[in-house]
Structure 1
Amino acid sequence: MAGPVNRPILFLDVDGPLIPFGDPGLRPGGHSGISVGPRSLPTGSNPLLARIDPRHGSQLSGLPCDLVWATTWMAEANEVISPLLGLPELPVVDWADAEDEGPLHWKTRGLVDWAAGRPFIWVDDEIAEADRAWVAAHHGRQALLHRVDPRRGLTHTDFAIIADWLAQL
């Protein structure tokens, strides 16, 4: 088993994986005009928070990895999402310098930098093949870029894939 410094990281997005969109019209920029991030509605009145499955907290904390928020919610993920899931305060990736470069997702380079050579899993609903190819070419360790269906959010199948990948390290 890897030591604490070498434990794999699980980078976790909120909107899509933990807050499923269901109706495609509820997706940010969708027809309804509703945005799910914390800046769109006052945190306490975001009606989409009811879509969070509190059981995901114990499933996530039971994985042999370090959980890290990789979301535009930033520190508000610890204030709002962590308590709903029963999770402790987690580290947060700072997106201050994130840039959209070509076909890559704007998070991709920052996550590889943040991982600093540690194996990692990235759970997001916007991962594409270009991100997988770039990480494979530029990250010196194993990485699982796992795209979650934003209509359903994290499912039992997603957790099984993540657990199996971690078990193979």
Structure 2
Amino acid sequence: MSATDRQPLIFIDIDGVLIPLRARPIGAGRQRSGSVGDGHGNPLLDRLEPDDGRRLLALPGELVWASTWMVEANEVVAPRLGLPALPVVDWIDDEQPPYGVHWKTASLARWAAGRPFVWLDDEITDADRRWVAAHHPHPALLRNVDPHLGLTGTDLTAVQQWLDHRDKAA
């Protein structure tokens, strides 16, 4: 087993997490990118916070896209955040999730293949937490991100604390 096989996975959604529903204020380090004319035609890309890439890379885990953006996450989002190309979860539509459980939940637990994981998404519920606790025998943190704010320092602090605690318990 390699060192990266022991690292927790950090599954990252894009819409509502890295691209919040509400526009972020333009500060000293942020400016409008003019996304409408950049060939991607998505003005919501202006809501990306470039510093999120650095903050995610600082976490001790393997970053993985868990978004319907699929390969476009690496083509469009990663460069704007200064992220390298990341693995992308392939979604399997072979089963209907139990009532109240997000359609991503079982696929992420399967993708984790017994590794601990963090899941950053704006649609996580207690039903997902219960399902993961019952079906994934390793530690998991399902962090529900406020879709109006997107990923915040509070979210990242919670993830870092969970990862630190997990490392000390191991």
TM range (shorter): 0.7 to 0.9
Q: With the length of structure 2 as denominator, give the TM-score of the two structures.
A: 0.84
Larger Rg: 2
CA contact (8 A) 1:98 1:110 kept: no
CA change 1:98–1:90 in 2 (3 A) is farther
Q: Write the mapping of 1:78-117 to structure 2, written as runs, cut at 5 A.
A: 78-97=74-93, 99-101=95-97, 102-117=99-114
> In the alignment, what sits opposite 2:123?
126
How far residue 43 of structure 1 moved from its aligned partner, in angstroms, is: 6.2
Structure 2 residue runs without a partner (length 5+):
24-37
What SS does the corresponding residue of 2:155 show, helix, strand or coil?
A: helix
Whole-Å Cα distance in 1 between the matches of residues 8 and 84 of structure 2? 18
Distance 1:142 1:77, change over 3 A: same
Separation of aligned partners in 2, 1:77 and 1:44: 12
**Cα distance in 1, alignment partners of residues 12 and 94 from structure 2:** 16
Give the whole-Å Cα distance in 2 for the aligned partners of 1:143 and 1:43. 38
Paired with 2:70 and 2:39, the residues of 1 have a C-alpha distance of 13
Structure 1 SS opposite 2:40: helix
**8 A contact 2:54–2:81 mirrored in 1:** yes
Alignment of 1:2-151 (within 5 A): 3-22=3-22, 44-97=40-93, 99-101=95-97, 102-151=99-148
Partner Cα distance (1:53, 1:120) in 2: 23
1:157 maps to what in 2? 154
**Distance in 2 (alpha carbons) for counterparts of 1:105 and 1:62:** 28
CA RMSD after TM alignment: 1.6
User: Deviating runs (4+, > 6 A) in structure 1?
Assistant: none
Q: SS of the counterpart of 2:59?
A: coil
CA–CA distance in structure 1, aligned partners of residues 14 and 146 of structure 2: 12
Q: Secondary structure at the match of 2:88?
A: coil
Contact 1:43 1:80 in 2 (8 A): no
Q: Quick check: 2:92–2:107 contact (8 Å CA) kept in 1? A: no
Q: 1:123 to 1:109 in 2, by over 3 A?
A: same
- Report the number of matched residues: 150
Instruction: Pick which of 109-118 and 88-97 moved more.
Output: 88-97
Deviations along 1:115-159, whole A, 9 cap, x unmatched? Answer: 000000000000000000000011010000000000000011001
CA distance in 1 between counterparts of 2:18 and 2:39 reads 15
The whole-number CA distance in structure 2 between the counterparts of 1:3 and 1:97 is: 31
